[in-house]
């Protein structure tokens, strides 16, 4: 019963995680998947009353085998449906969830009835079964969160769970063989099911790559699931490298320079002798590449939650070539987080050659890498900064929306030096117009003066940024005047010119009207709602 509990809850988590990766909105998908599965568990529990007392053991064994097959192959079938019958994905996905829930609902009452053969006391029987089921669920939750993702990907985990269900069936067959009439039939069926699931587990990576390839135009060259996200790279025959996180395009090598040059240079080049820069997000190293064009910088602090992403930025050759080795250091030493909470050890990189040397920097710059949640870092970060860059994915999930919240921005305001600036990438002002304005409105509520920028990036369309500075440092139109003033940009830029910085501030009539625009807060996620609705209409 312990194993049954482990598998049941883990199936719920696997289907929920898959739905989140494909459809987004983790809160909604987890709630729907678990809710639908619980409903059909109740339906299954009610249906079992129509089953007679004869052949209970055989029925339980059959249900366990069927549950193992459906739960094990279900996520792969869902991903197949998304790639080949996209319009039917939701139907197929929730039919599989309903089937798994129905079988789980049948197995627990049947197990109680089977256990009566050994433990006739109802109170003892129920106590034992439910205790083991709940304990198994707890173990399953811990294993699914902390253990299984370290060794298996999202499609391999269900195959392992399915094998456990089949082993329960075969174990039941062995211990209750005197109550089973067709032992060899059930035994052969269980062995074949175990073989199929074992083959699926063994071929898990090729199966995943085959199914994922259907979702992308160009060949998949790397697919890796970390504790926090699924990272995938494609590369076409011309060498164009595209990066996707949880199915969403993050950058394309054909035009990422436009994005990163606009993210960094309009604000940084407007500052007088900047020394310290903080980058939140940006684990691909592309924003840091642009920062290292400034020989006067003394330190860059990069905070990214996912060590897998920063590891790829340091070790994956196509990405290292693209970021020009910005996170690869000739000297690497580990130091403690120095009071910053919930972090891994800090990677401190001292650069004095490579890309930085080619720029003829007189002094090395320290690049400190923290694997932390940016929200927690902002609340307890040591030191202050002349420039803060917010290079997060779009707020397509409630967990990301908190990184665009009033509370977060207020924390960041305290990290800015006098006359310091902050830049927030801010999705598309054309497609997600209200979401773009909510970000600006929230920055203003946090005590910032703001300046809106936008630029067409071919891979994304019209894309927006907000430049922000403390209102007391930049009253009125001072911020716009400072960012707009002619200046000499660093050498080696691919796209950005001083004239483009001025042009990027031009919006249509009424496009920046903030009347009626809400503020995004931790407990009132207006941004996520507006973003989700806007892109849903676009699809």
What residues act catalytically? 391
Task: Judge contact between 14 and 4, C-beta under 8 A.
Answer: no
The answer on whether 538 is annotated among ligand-binding residues is: no
**Selection from 270, 244, 255 nearest residue 456 by Cα:** 255
Give the SS3 label for residue 416: strand
Which residue blocks in 478-520 are alpha helix, DSSP H?
A: 478-484, 498-503
Q: What is the separation, in whole angstroms, between the first and last Cα of the chain?
A: 45
Compute the chain's Rg from CA coordinates.
27
304-329 as b/e: b if 16+ CB within 10 A: bbbbbbbebbbebebbbebbbbbbbb
The answer on whether 213 is annotated among ligand-binding residues is: no
Q: What is the DSSP letter of 490?
A: P
The answer on whether 260 is annotated among ligand-binding residues is: yes
Which helix (H) or strand (E) segment holds residue 2: the answer is helix 2-23
Distance (Å, whole) CA 26 – CA 121? 43
3-state secondary structure 178-224: HHCCCHHHHHHHHHHHHHHHHHHHHCHHHHHHHHHHCCCCCCEEEEE
Distance (Å, whole) CA 209 – CA 223? 8
184-199 as b/e: b if 16+ CB within 10 A: eebbebbeebbebbbe
Task: Judge contact between 180 and 57, C-beta under 8 A.
Answer: yes
Residue 47: φ, ψ to 5°: -65, -30
3-state secondary structure 278-328: EEEECCCCHHHHHHCCCCCCCEEEEECCCHHHHHHHHHCHHHHHHHCCCCC
Distance (Å, whole) CA 468 – CA 465? 10
- What is the token pair recorded at 346? 């800090």
Give the SS3 label for residue 421: strand
According to DSSP, the residues that pair with 503 across neighbouring strands are none
Which residue blocks in 397-448 are alpha helix, DSSP H?
A: 398-401, 406-413, 433-445
Q: Are strands 241-245 and 331-335 parallel, antiparallel or unpaired?
A: unpaired
The answer on whether 218 is annotated among ligand-binding residues is: no
Q: What is the DSSP letter of 519?
A: P
The answer on whether 374 is annotated among ligand-binding residues is: yes
The answer on whether 19 is annotated among ligand-binding residues is: no
Distance (Å, whole) CA 348 – CA 327? 10
Task: Judge contact between 293 and 324, C-beta under 8 A.
Answer: no
- What is the token pair recorded at 42? 């109740």
Helices 56-84 and 183-202 pack at an angle, to 10 degrees, of: 30
The answer on whether 462 is annotated among ligand-binding residues is: no
Distance (Å, whole) CA 85 – CA 83? 6
Residues at the binding site for spermidine are: 260, 284
Residues at the binding site for S-methyl-5'-thioadenosine are: 229, 304, 373-374, 398
Residues at the binding site are: 229, 260, 284, 304, 373-374, 398
């Amino acid at each position: 019963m312990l194993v049954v509990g482990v598998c049941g809850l883990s199936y719920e988590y696997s289907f929920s995680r898959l739905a989140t990766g494909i459809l987004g909105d983790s809160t909604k998908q987890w709630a729907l998947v678990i809710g639908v599965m619980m409903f059909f568990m109740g339906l299954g529990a009610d249906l079992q009353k129509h089953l007679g007392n004869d052949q209970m053991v055989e029925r339980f064994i059959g249900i366990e085998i069927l549950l193992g097959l459906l739960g094990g192959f279900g996520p792969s079938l869902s991903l197949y449906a998304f790639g080949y019958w996209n319009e039917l994905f939701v139907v197929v996905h929730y039919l599989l969830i309903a089937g798994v829930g129905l079988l789980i609902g049948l197995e627990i009452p049947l197990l109680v009835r089977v256990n009566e053969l050994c433990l006739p006391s109802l109170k003892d029987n129920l106590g034992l079964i439910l205790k083991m089921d709940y304990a198994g669920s707890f173990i399953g939750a811990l294993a699914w969160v902390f253990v299984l993702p370290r060794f298996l990907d999202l499609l391999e985990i269900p195959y392992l769970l399915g094998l456990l269900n089949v082993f329960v069936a075969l174990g039941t067959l062995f211990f209750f063989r005197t109550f089973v009439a067709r032992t060899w039939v059930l035994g052969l069926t269980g062995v074949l099911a175990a073989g199929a699931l074992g083959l699926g587990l063994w071929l898990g990576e090729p199966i995943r790559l085959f199914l994922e390839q259907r979702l992308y135009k160009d060949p998949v060259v790397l697919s890796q699931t970390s504790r926090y996200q699924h990272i995938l790279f494609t590369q076409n025959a011309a060498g164009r490298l595209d990066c996707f996180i949880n199915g969403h395009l993050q950058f394309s090598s054909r035009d990422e320079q436009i994005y990163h040059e606009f993210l960094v240079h309009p604000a940084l080049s407007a500052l007088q002798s900047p020394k310290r820069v903080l980058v939140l997000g940006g684990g691909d190293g592309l924003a840091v590449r642009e920062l290292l064009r400034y020989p006067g910088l003394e330190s860059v602090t990069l905070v990214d939650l996912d060590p897998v992403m920063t590891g790829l930025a340091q070790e994956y050759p196509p990405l290292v070539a693209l970021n020009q080795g910005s996170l690869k250091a000739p000297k690497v030493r580990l130091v403690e987080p120095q009071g910053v909470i919930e972090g891994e050890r800090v990677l401190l990189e001292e650069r004095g050659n490579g890309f930085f040397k080619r720029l003829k920097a007189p002094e090395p710059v320290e690049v400190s890498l923290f694997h932390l949640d940016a929200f927690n870092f902002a609340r307890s970060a040591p030191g202050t900064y002349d420039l803060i860059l917010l290079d997060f994915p779009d707020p397509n999930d409630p967990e990301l929306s908190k990184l665009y919240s009033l509370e977060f921005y207020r924390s960041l305001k305290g990290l800015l030096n006098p006359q310091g600036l902050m830049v927030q990438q801010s999705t598309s002002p054309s497609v997600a117009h209200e979401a773009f304005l909510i970000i600006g409105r929230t920055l203003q509520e946090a005590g910032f003066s703001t300046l809106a920028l936008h630029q067409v990036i071919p891979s994304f369309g019209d894309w927006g940024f907000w430049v922000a500075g403390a209102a007391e440092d930049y009253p009125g139109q001072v911020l716009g005047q400072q960012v707009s003033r002619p200046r000499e940009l660093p050498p080696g830029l691919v796209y950005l010119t001083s004239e483009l910085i001025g042009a990027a501030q031009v919006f249509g009539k009424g496009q920046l009207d903030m009347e009626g625009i809400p503020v995004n807060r931790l407990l009132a996620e207006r941004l996520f709602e507006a973003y989700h609705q806007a892109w849903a209409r676009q699809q």
